[in-house]
């Protein structure tokens, strides 16, 4: 079991890379000095690559989202479950077909994002979202929920004053605070609903995050694998209540997410960093994206948000 292996490596302070899919069926882990040659990663500058593959000129990136009618069927299925009280917030995702002259490694090596991860001939993720960080004795999580076109007039004020977005963010913050409380003490919100701008393909996207912190027990390294597994899947890309909402996601989305919305972890022997595998393009040209749906959500705006999140991080 990989969980026990991570416990062993944590106790021994062995640096490792750990990758797990949303369904938690295909976990992969390696000591950092044994990471396969087809795995590329960059965690805030901690990376195993240096070669930056030149971008093609001209660059082409054409997206073909699912029809609004098809999205509507999924959206209404989510609303039905919300009305039944089976979920308060459900993260609905869909694939968008993309035609591009970019290969996965080119996207990875040019990505201007906090995190980049690539499995050659399988997928690339250029994620802006931290899952958890550990700087002993503290563990931090940074739920990201709320997106807007940052080039709109008064974008920051608009999204921060949006009641639907505020309620959605509060739900995820509460969920992640409860998750941390299972493994840590003195859990507290350090920063609440702060605004960041991401530059992408000729436009800017504004996103809302929060920072939550807890204090880990002194012997947490000995059970590092158990600790990480207890937090899965990430609350921001599932919903609340988590277990029931994950069941609903599996039935409504139908196709497994795989490594999309899974988590990648980097442990240097002392500290740990990790990211949620979003902003995700697979080898057959399907880009996965979505957003949190609540009872107050408006279908057309959610559909547009799903499309807006389909991009490559070059500017």
CATH of the domain at 214: 3.60.120.10
Identify any residues that bridge with 134 across adjacent strands, giving them in sequence order. Answer: 139, 272
Is 314 within the bounds of a domain?
no
More confident residue, 208 or 139: 139
Is 315 within the bounds of a domain?
no
| Strand 39-43 with 115-119, pairing | antiparallel
| CA nearest to 34, candidates 45, 46, 18 | 18
If 0-12 CB within 10 Å is exposed, 13-18 middle and 19+ buried, where does residue 60 land? exposed
The pLDDT score that the predictor gives to residue 164 is 82
**Which whole number is the average pLDDT over 109-125?**
96
DSSP 191-227: EEEEEEEEEETTEEEEEEEEEEEEEPPTTGGGGHHHH
At 310, phi and psi to the nearest 5?
-95, 105
* R_g (Cα) of the chain, nearest Å: 19
Is 313 within the bounds of a domain?
no
**Is residue 200 scored above 80 in pLDDT?**
no
Domain extent, residue 190, equals: 2-308
Is 249 within the bounds of a domain?
yes
**Is residue 205 scored above 90 in pLDDT?**
no
Is 86 within the bounds of a domain?
yes
Percent of the chain with pLDDT over 70: 99
Is 147 within the bounds of a domain?
yes
Q: In this structure, are residues 133 and 273 in contact, taking their beta carbons and an 8 Å threshold? A: yes
Grade residue 202 by pLDDT with cuts at 50, 70 and 90: low
Is 245 within the bounds of a domain?
yes
**Is residue 245 scored above 90 in pLDDT?**
yes
Is 134 within the bounds of a domain?
yes
The pLDDT score that the predictor gives to residue 192 is 94
**Is residue 139 scored above 80 in pLDDT?**
yes
pTM over 0.85: yes
Q: What total of structural domains would you count in the chain?
A: 1
Span of 116-125, 138-147, 248-257, 287-296 with lowest mean pLDDT: 138-147
At 164, phi and psi to the nearest 5?
-65, -45
**Is residue 201 scored above 80 in pLDDT?**
no
């Amino acid at each position: 079991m990989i969980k026990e292996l991570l416990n062993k490596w944590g106790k021994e302070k062995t640096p490792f890379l750990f990758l797990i899919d949303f369904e938690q069926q295909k976990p992969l882990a390696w000591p950092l000095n044994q990471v396969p040659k087809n795995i590329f990663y960059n965690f805030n500058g901690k990376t195993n690559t240096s070669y930056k593959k030149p971008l093609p000129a001209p660059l082409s990136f054409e997206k073909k989202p699912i029809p609004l009618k098809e999205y509507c069927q999924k959206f209404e299925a989510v609303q039905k479950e919300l009305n039944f009280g089976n979920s308060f917030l459900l993260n609905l995702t869909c694939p968008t077909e993309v035609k591009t002259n970019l290969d996965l490694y080119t996207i990875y090596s040019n990505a201007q994002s906090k995190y980049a991860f690539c499995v050659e001939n399988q997928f690339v993720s250029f994620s802006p979202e931290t899952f958890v960080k550990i700087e002993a004795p503290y563990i931090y999580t940074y739920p990201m929920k709320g997106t807007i076109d940052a080039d709109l007039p008064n974008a920051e004020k608009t999204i921060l004053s949006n009641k639907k977005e505020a309620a959605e963010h509060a739900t995820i913050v509460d969920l992640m605070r409860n998750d941390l409380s299972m493994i840590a003490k003195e859990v507290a919100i350090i920063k609440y609903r702060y605004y960041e701008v991401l530059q992408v393909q000729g436009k800017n996207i504004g996103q809302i995050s929060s920072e939550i912190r807890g204090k880990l027990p002194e012997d947490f390294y000995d059970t590092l694998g158990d600790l990480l597994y207890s937090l899965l899947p990430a609350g921001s890309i599932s919903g609340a209540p988590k277990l029931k909402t994950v069941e609903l996601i599996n039935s409504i989305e139908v196709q497994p997410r795989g490594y999309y919305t899974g988590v990648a972890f980097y442990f240097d022997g002392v500290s740990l960093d990790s990211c949620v595998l979003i902003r995700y393009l697979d080898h057959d040209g399907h880009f996965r994206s979505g957003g949190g749906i609540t009872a107050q959500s408006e279908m057309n705006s959610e559909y547009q948000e799903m499309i807006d999140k389909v991009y490559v991080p070059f500017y």
